[in-house]
């Protein structure tokens, strides 16, 4: 039983350590700009959690606001965030 556990542990360790990396996207958002975007996203999420009606009454769509403010699209943001 102990040998089986040792073998399974060793097998899991070997199979979980793959060198798969995410490729750099063509239209990567620069680091400083991405920091500002993530900061704004976190502030908007905090507003949603503390006072959900505040964004609704002002008719603010947080995703659309971020995309317009930083002149990016959702695909570019998703790929840069994943990278």
| N residues, the chain | 83
The pLDDT of residue 78 is 92
Question: Residue 77 pLDDT > 80, yes or no?
Answer: yes
Over residues 26-70, the pLDDT tens digits come to 889 999 999 999 999 999 999 999 998 888 888 888 899 999 999
Q: Rounded to whole angstroms, how far apart are CA atoms 25 and 76?
A: 8
Residue that wins the pLDDT comparison between 61 and 9: 61
| Tokens 């993530």 belong to residue | 38
The pLDDT of residue 25 is 85
pTM score over 0.85? no
Question: Residue 19 pLDDT > 70, yes or no?
Answer: no
């Amino acid at each position: 039983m102990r040998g089986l556990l040792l073998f399974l542990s060793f097998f899991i360790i070997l199979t979980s350590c793959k060198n798969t990396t995410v490729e750099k996207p063509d239209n990567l958002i620069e680091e400083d700009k991405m920091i500002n975007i993530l900061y704004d996203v976190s502030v908007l999420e905090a507003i949603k959690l503390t006072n959900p009606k505040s964004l609704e009454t002002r008719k603010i769509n947080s995703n659309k606001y971020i995309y317009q403010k930083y002149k990016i699209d959702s695909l570019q943001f998703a790929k840069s965030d994943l990278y």
